[in-house]
Structures are given as C-alpha cells and as structure tokens.
Amino acid sequence: MKTFVTGFPRIGEQRELKFALERFWKGEQPFSEVEKVATELKQRHWNYQKEANIDAVSINDFSLYDTTLDTMVALGLEPKSHQDITDKTARYFAIARGDDQHRALEMTKWFNTNYHYIVPVLDETTDKEVDITKIKAEYIAAKAEGITPKVNLIGPLTFIANAKKSNGEDAPFELFEDILAKYKALLAQIATLDEKILIQIDEPVLVTDKAAELGLLIKKAYSELTSVATNVELFVITYFDHAKEATKALCTTDVAGIGLDFVYAKENKEVVKIIADAGKKLIAGVIDGRNIWISDIDAKVALLEELAQDIDKENIIVSTSCSLLHVPFTLKYEEKLDTEVKSWLAYSVEKLDELNLTAKCFFSDALSIEEQKALDANRAANQSRRTSSKIHDEAVQARIKELESLKVKRVPYETRIVKQHEKFNYPELATTTIGSFPQTPEVRKARRAFKNGEIDEESYIEQMKTFTKACVLWQDEIGLDVLVHGEFERNDMVEYFGEQLSGVAFSQNGWVQSYGSRCVKPPLIYGDVSRPEPMTVFWSSYAQSLTDKPMKGMLTGAVTILNWSFVRDDQPRSETCYQISLGIRDEIDDLQNAGIEMIQVDEAAFKEGYPLRASKRPAYEEFAVKSFWISTNVAKETTQIHTHMCYSEFNDIIRTIEEMDADVISIETARSGNVLLKVFARTGYLQEIGPGVYDIHSPRVPSTEEMVAQIKELMEVLPAKQLWINPDCGLKTRGWAEVKPSLENMVKAVKEVRAQL
C-alpha cells in the first residue's frame, strides 16, 4: 500500500446528492430515488480513486447527511427523543433536521473547518445493538467495483469530545467505558466482513490541546480496540494540526499505522522517528486536503525524502492531509475561470492524480512518458504561479513594505469618543440595525436579472434605489437613531467585496459541503489584492442623501474575507490579510470623505480563524488585530468605527476584541441573556456595545414589554451611555412582516426606558 486518501467529498460533482435529498424532503420523489443517486455517486467516487491508482480507498466516508450522525446510528446511540419515529429513514432525517414534532439535534463546526456535524447527546440514548447495515452494504458494493476498501470510522475519543450531555455540558468523557464497549462491538462485527480488514479511525481531537490530557484514554482505547479481532488492521488518522502527544501514546498500542498532517503541522516531523521505532506505518498527509492550489510535486517529494530520513520508505504511505471533503470536486465544469488561474488549481479529482504522481516520483526511479509529461506540466504551472503578473502586483507589495508604520492604534478611545458625541449627538441607548434588510424575492430577482444581462445597469440601479429609499425612509419614520442602507445590492457579504477586489476569482462549481445538503462556494484569493475603485460609496452616499440621520457605511472586514475564502498558500495568510485590509482602508477613507462618518466593519468570522492549538493563537490574534488597525486607523477622530461579531462567546477573546479598538461593537447576546455582557463589564471594557436585544434567527416578533425588560437587564450590567440597542444580526433572511413590528417594538421599548431614566 503506497497511496491513501483519507476521505472523498460525497455531495457529487454536480451536487447530485443535494438535489436528490431536497426533492425527497419536499415530497417530490420517494427515498428510493435518493438511494439510487447515492449508489451511483459512491461507485463513481470509488472509480475516480481506482483510476488514479489509490491503494487505500474509503468506504463509509459517504453520508446522506453527516458522518457523526451515521456513527450514532452505527453504535446504536441515537437520541431517545426521536425514538417514537419508527421509520429508520424518517428518524435519521428528523434527528438531522427536525420535523413537526421533533427538534433537530444541534449542529456545530467540525474543528476549524466550515463543515458542520450533528452534535451527539450521549447520556439519553437508545442504547440499541450496533448496526453495520450501512457499512456492510458499502463494503460489498466497493468490492464489486474491484476495490479493497478501508472502512472509515470516527474514533471514540473524537466522538465523545464532540458530544454533549442533555444538560448541555461538553465532552461526556465519564461515558468513555460505555462508548468504548460499543466501538468494540462494532469492530467485532466489521471484522466478520472479510478475511482481512483495514479500518481507518479518524481522531482529529488528538491535534487539539485536549490530547495532552487524553494520554491514558488513548492508550486504553487503542489497546482494547486492537485486540478485538486479529484480522483487523487499525490506522488512526489525525489532521489539521500536530498530534505529537497522541503519537507517543498510540505507539504503545498495536495500531498498524498513524496518520499525520504535514501540510498544516510541520511539527509532526518531530515524531516520525517514534513511529519508525515502534515499527508502524506512517500515513503521511502531504497533499493539501483543505485548499485548492496545485501541489508543487517536487516540494512534496522533497518533504517525503526528509521524512524518509527517520523512517524506512516502505513504511511510508502517501496521503492527503485530511479528507477531501473540504475542497470542491473537479475542475471539469470550470468553464469561465481565467485559464491561467485555472492552471494553478486542483480540486479533489485533480488531487488524486497529484497524489499518485507524488507517490510515483517518491517510490520509483523511472516515470512513464505520461507521468513525466504530467510532472513537467506541474512544474510549468508552479513556475507560472511564481512569476505571473496576475499574482504579483508591485504596487501592492510596495504598499505592504511601508505597512510597518500603519500597524498602529488610533488616538485613544477616550479622546475620540468625546468628539464623536459632540459631532453626532446621538442619545443614550441609541437604536440601530446590523446592516441588511429583507432580501425579498423582488430584490433577488432584480439582482439576478442584472447578473444575467436581462436588464441594463440603469434600470438595475433604479430598482435598487427604490428598495434602498423605501428602507431608509421607513427607518427614519419609525425613529431609529442610526440608519443603514439595507444591503440590497449584495448577494453575500464576502462575495460582494471579493468581486470588486483584484486578485480574487470566483469559481462556477467550486462547491464545498457546509452541512447536510448545503454547500458554499468560497472566493479564491489567488493574487496580490487591491481595490481598484470604491466599492460601497455610491450606495452609502445615495442612502445618506435621503436622511439627516447618520447613515452607517457597511463593510466586511479583512479577517472575515480571509476566513471565508480559499487563500493563496504561496505567502503567509497574514500578508494576504494585510493586503485586503489596505483595500478596506481605502474604502473607509473614501466613505468618510464622502460624508459617511459612521462605518461598520463586520468581522463575523473573526473567531472562526482561531487555530486549534492555544500556542498558535497569539500569532493569529496579532495579525488579525493589526489588520483591523490597518483598515481603521485611517478614520478621523470624529469618524466612528463600528464592528459586528456574530458570537455569544467572548470570554477567551475579550482582550483581543478590546485591542481591536472599535468605537462600537455589536454582538449576538439575544439568546444568552446578559451573561455575556457581564464579561465586558467585569473586564472593564470601555467602548460602546450593542448587545443584540432580539434573536433574528427566529421569525418570532418580540414584544415591547419583553424588550423593555431586556434593556433594563442590560442596564444592570452596563450604564445606558455605553449601550446601543439593536437586533443581534443582519435581517436579510427575515421577511418585512416580521422585521417591521420587531423594530417598531424595539424603538418603542427604548423610548419607554428612556422616559423612565
């Protein structure tokens, strides 16, 4: 075995699974149609891997919704709450998505990716027999395709660490013995499927700081799991960061091999020798499973040679850094991408060939003519990437060189805020919103028609002006203090800016599964980023011209643009982030010169970028904060900088938020009461705060009374003069029928509270 793929995307190269599922959910087709599509997709995916000479091809990496949910089913650990649903399929999707009578289980991010898994609740489960129906069916089907499958499972430690208890507590490790017993039963059954069986156990939790405490459990789990059956070979796979602590523990057990990520954790090199000494295989994750740039095959081979100094070549298996789930499917359908940019890309299918070629170059002396051709093409593409003027923009680089002088804070907040109050004279408990207003079918239709060339720019602008005008006048009329233009011209808060920045491309088919049937298509930041022209000044100025109240300009921050994109890997992420920051900086300057002097820089994804390991967080925080300064320190003292973050967890990042030094921050507190706000109070946070007073994720209209009560609670924690009153996020997903009464009630509530002050 020389080549290994950790996992393959399942949604289908044209999102076939998504469409089949959604038709089934709508009642437009029976479940058998979904099964048919699933069967075809699995076959196709296995064959892609077979054709690329991949030796270790996964089964059970496929899922109709989520592999953690599949693990619950396989272990017989479904939530008790859904057991009255007797139909297996109906129950599965009710756990995932809820139904008339049942709530869906919570969903959360899979480590530091944008994939969301279903969070198991482990103390109130059915405790049924383990169930290998799905695994068995896939095993048999894969064998029929001429593949020797490896069975993918989410490991017990990761499964428990990602689970909850019904009281909401994290990581129910006290259930370890019970869960381990389930895994042993599962493995025993899988062992009956064939004479010899290969099992891949994914344990990404072992790359987190938790690994240090898990030492004994790692040892116990894998000593016991490896003694279940003699015909099973167990490979424990880690990814996204280093697994140095865990590798030592795993090497004391009988696992056959250990998978380490050498793309995102060079530190893993330090433990290769330990694996060699223990006589185990190293599954060397060298092909990037999380980003879309072509590999530099020569560099990959050099890396493998370096590893081979510590471990025999025949004990190395060349692999992807993680499952290919996190990258799009195939370049085959990319017809509109610039051909040069396209030549720098590799999606899942192309990565299989890269993996194969890397292994060929590493293991054998001679290449076939075909392979040599592929290698030459790879070298040429990498060379063009190093030199292309599409990537390297001297003007941007010159600005970056001068940057050192820009990475500074504005004048002290205490000085600024006095001047801002003199200028804007807004009341205590100032009311505002987070930016977007309902994206109604008419709004979407107009944008789509313009994009498809069905209407001309003039009539598009007319329509957008009509939406904006109605929105601004209405906000004015109900008495909001600080207005927004409504963001009708924006499809998405990152895409809107990405499309106007140089160095950023958009794919046609670069879909990546986010959860269930949902996919996202992240922008591709391939080159030096600059902002050729103002991006928002037109719309903000138009909106300001309609009112005497302050109009907030709306920008997406550099860190959020970075965290929601595929970012170039030929320079540090910080460098790319600074370049984007300069673009936002120019925009802020243009806005303030155009008379827009309250400007919100949304950092909705600020927290998402945090590295898994605490030791790596300061470096992230440093560049993230600096990039916020680079963007915002161009603001005059009297220009008020707002920021918005969609979280309710600030405990561990409060000092960093403070460092960012926005004048006003709005956050998502509506669902967590004023617990969160206390963090700000306790730490002596000085700047103004808009804790969301109602939850925009629900269609419910909050009453005036309940918001009065909410505001009073907030005022018990922080003084009124430090508080803004706003919903907890943008309103784009809501309808006007909910937004109107909600905001009217919010304004009424504030008036009542002010009258009592």
**Residues identified as active-site:** 697
CB within 8 A of 565, min separation 6: which ones?
A: 494, 498, 504, 522, 523, 524, 525
Contact 653/395 with Cβ under 8 angstroms?
Answer: no
Q: Which is nearer to ligand GLN, 234 or 739 (CB)?
A: 739
Residue 557 binding result from Zn ion, ligand GLN, none, given CB thresholds of 5 to 8 Å by partner type: none
Site for ligand GLN (CB under 6 A): which residue of 9, 120, 435, 486?
435
Regarding 54 and contact with ligand GLN (CB under 6 A), the answer is no
User: Minimum CB separation from ligand GLN for residue 493, in Å?
Assistant: 5
Helix axis angle for 369-387 and 297-307, nearest 10°, is: 110
Q: Is 723 helix (H, G, I), strand (E, B) or coil?
A: strand
Regarding 732 and contact with ligand GLN (CB under 6 A), the answer is yes
User: Minimum CB separation from Zn ion for residue 488, in Å?
Assistant: 18
Compute CA distances 627 → 318, 494, 591, whole Å: 37, 16, 19
Regarding 646 and contact with Zn ion (CB under 5 A), the answer is yes
Q: Is 522 helix (H, G, I), strand (E, B) or coil?
A: coil
The contact pattern for ligand GLN, residues 516-555, with x = CB under 6 A and - = no contact, is --------------------------------------x-
Interface segment toward ligand GLN; rule CB under 6 A; list 378-386, 420-428, 618-626, 725-733: 725-733
Compute CA distances 139 → 411, 444, 635, 688, whole Å: 65, 45, 61, 58
Interface segment toward ligand GLN; rule CB under 6 A; list 13-21, 203-211, 506-514, 726-734: 726-734
Distance between CA atoms of residues 713 and 706, nearest Å: 11
Compute CA distances 256 → 199, 240, 353, 450, whole Å: 10, 21, 26, 58
Interface segment toward ligand GLN; rule CB under 6 A; list 92-100, 413-421, 430-438, 624-632: 430-438
Contacts with ligand GLN in 186-205 (CB under 6 A)?
Answer: none
Contact 580/627 with Cβ under 8 angstroms?
Answer: yes
The contact pattern for ligand GLN, residues 582-621, with x = CB under 6 A and - = no contact, is --------------------x-x-----------------
Beta pairing, strands 518-520 & 512-515: antiparallel
Interface segment toward ligand GLN; rule CB under 6 A; list 152-160, 292-300, 429-437, 498-506: 429-437
User: Minimum CB separation from ligand GLN for residue 222, in Å?
Assistant: 41
User: Minimum CB separation from ligand GLN for residue 488, in Å?
Assistant: 11
User: Minimum CB separation from ligand GLN for residue 261, in Å?
Assistant: 30
Q: Which is nearer to ligand GLN, 624 or 753 (CB)?
A: 624
Q: Which is nearer to Zn ion, 192 or 733 (CB)?
A: 733
Q: How many helices (H) and strands (E) does the chain have?
A: 27, 22
Contact 190/182 with Cβ under 8 angstroms?
Answer: no
Residue 554 binding result from Zn ion, ligand GLN, none, given CB thresholds of 5 to 8 Å by partner type: ligand GLN
Beta pairing, strands 149-154 & 57-59: parallel
Residue 436 binding result from Zn ion, ligand GLN, none, given CB thresholds of 5 to 8 Å by partner type: ligand GLN
Under rule CB under 6 A, how many of the chain's residues touch ligand GLN? 13
Q: Is 147 helix (H, G, I), strand (E, B) or coil?
A: coil
Regarding 729 and contact with ligand GLN (CB under 6 A), the answer is yes
Site for ligand GLN (CB under 6 A): which residue of 341, 434, 543, 612?
434
* Bridge partner list, 90: none
User: Minimum CB separation from Zn ion for residue 701, in Å?
Assistant: 19
Residue 294 binding result from ligand GLN, Zn ion, none, given CB thresholds of 5 to 8 Å by partner type: none
Q: What DSSP assignment string belongs to 479-518?
A: T-SSB--B-TT-S-TTHHHHTTSEEEE--SS--EEEETTE
Residue 732 binding result from Zn ion, ligand GLN, none, given CB thresholds of 5 to 8 Å by partner type: ligand GLN
Distance between CA atoms of residues 196 and 610, nearest Å: 41
What is the distance of C-alpha 106 from the center of its chain? Answer: 16
Interface segment toward Zn ion; rule CB under 5 A; list 97-105, 173-181, 424-432, 726-734: 726-734
Compute CA distances 213 → 157, 248, 249, whole Å: 12, 13, 11
Q: Is 320 helix (H, G, I), strand (E, B) or coil?
A: strand
User: Minimum CB separation from Zn ion for residue 645, in Å?
Assistant: 7
Q: Which is nearer to Zn ion, 651 or 733 (CB)?
A: 733
Residue 203 binding result from Zn ion, ligand GLN, none, given CB thresholds of 5 to 8 Å by partner type: none
User: Minimum CB separation from Zn ion for residue 5, in Å?
Assistant: 36
- Number of residues in the chain: 757
Residue 549 binding result from ligand GLN, Zn ion, none, given CB thresholds of 5 to 8 Å by partner type: none
- Tokens linked to 584: 């936002």
User: Minimum CB separation from Zn ion for residue 646, in Å?
Assistant: 3
Contact 351/324 with Cβ under 8 angstroms?
Answer: yes
Q: Which is nearer to ligand GLN, 132 or 731 (CB)?
A: 731
* Bridge partner list, 57: 149
Q: Taking every pair of C-alpha atoms in the chain, what is the biggest distance, in angstroms?
A: 85
Residue 157 binding result from Zn ion, ligand GLN, none, given CB thresholds of 5 to 8 Å by partner type: none
Count the alpha carbons within 13 Å of 58 in the hemisphere toward its beta carbon: 26
For 108, other C-beta atoms within 10 Å of its C-beta total 12
Interface segment toward ligand GLN; rule CB under 6 A; list 17-25, 141-149, 372-380, 434-442: 434-442
Distance between CA atoms of residues 58 and 5, nearest Å: 7
- Tokens linked to 204: 């990404």
Compute CA distances 685 → 648, 657, 688, whole Å: 16, 9, 8
Site for Zn ion (CB under 5 A): which residue of 729, 731, 743, 749?
729
Q: Which is nearer to Zn ion, 361 or 662 (CB)?
A: 662
User: Minimum CB separation from ligand GLN for residue 740, in Å?
Assistant: 17
Under rule CB under 5 A, how many of the chain's residues touch Zn ion? 2
Beta pairing, strands 502-505 & 524-530: antiparallel
Distance between CA atoms of residues 345 and 263, nearest Å: 17
Q: Is 108 helix (H, G, I), strand (E, B) or coil?
A: strand
Residue 658 binding result from ligand GLN, Zn ion, none, given CB thresholds of 5 to 8 Å by partner type: none
User: Minimum CB separation from Zn ion for residue 495, in Å?
Assistant: 16
Q: Which is nearer to ligand GLN, 334 or 602 (CB)?
A: 602
The contact pattern for ligand GLN, residues 641-670, with x = CB under 6 A and - = no contact, is ---x-x------------------------
Residue 662 binding result from ligand GLN, Zn ion, none, given CB thresholds of 5 to 8 Å by partner type: none
Structure letter (DSSP) for residue 176: H
Task: Let me know if 675 is exposed, middle or buried by CB neighbors in 10 A (0-12, 13-18, 19+).
Answer: exposed
Interface segment toward ligand GLN; rule CB under 6 A; list 171-179, 242-250, 433-441, 623-631: 433-441
* Bridge partner list, 707: none
Phi-psi sector, 150: left (phi>0), alpha (psi -120 to 50), beta: beta
User: Minimum CB separation from ligand GLN for residue 734, in Å?
Assistant: 11
Q: Which is nearer to ligand GLN, 154 or 599 (CB)?
A: 599
User: Minimum CB separation from Zn ion for residue 434, in Å?
Assistant: 6
Report CA Rg, the chain.
27
* Nearest residue to the partner ligand GLN, using Cβ: 730
Interface segment toward ligand GLN; rule CB under 6 A; list 3-11, 272-280, 431-439, 745-753: 431-439
Regarding 691 and contact with ligand GLN (CB under 6 A), the answer is no
CB within 8 A of 190, min separation 6: which ones?
A: 132, 135, 151, 197, 199, 232
Judged by the rule CB under 6 A, the positions of this chain that interact with ligand GLN are 434-436, 487, 493, 554, 602, 604, 644, 646, 729-730, 732
Judged by the rule CB under 5 A, the positions of this chain that interact with Zn ion are 646, 729
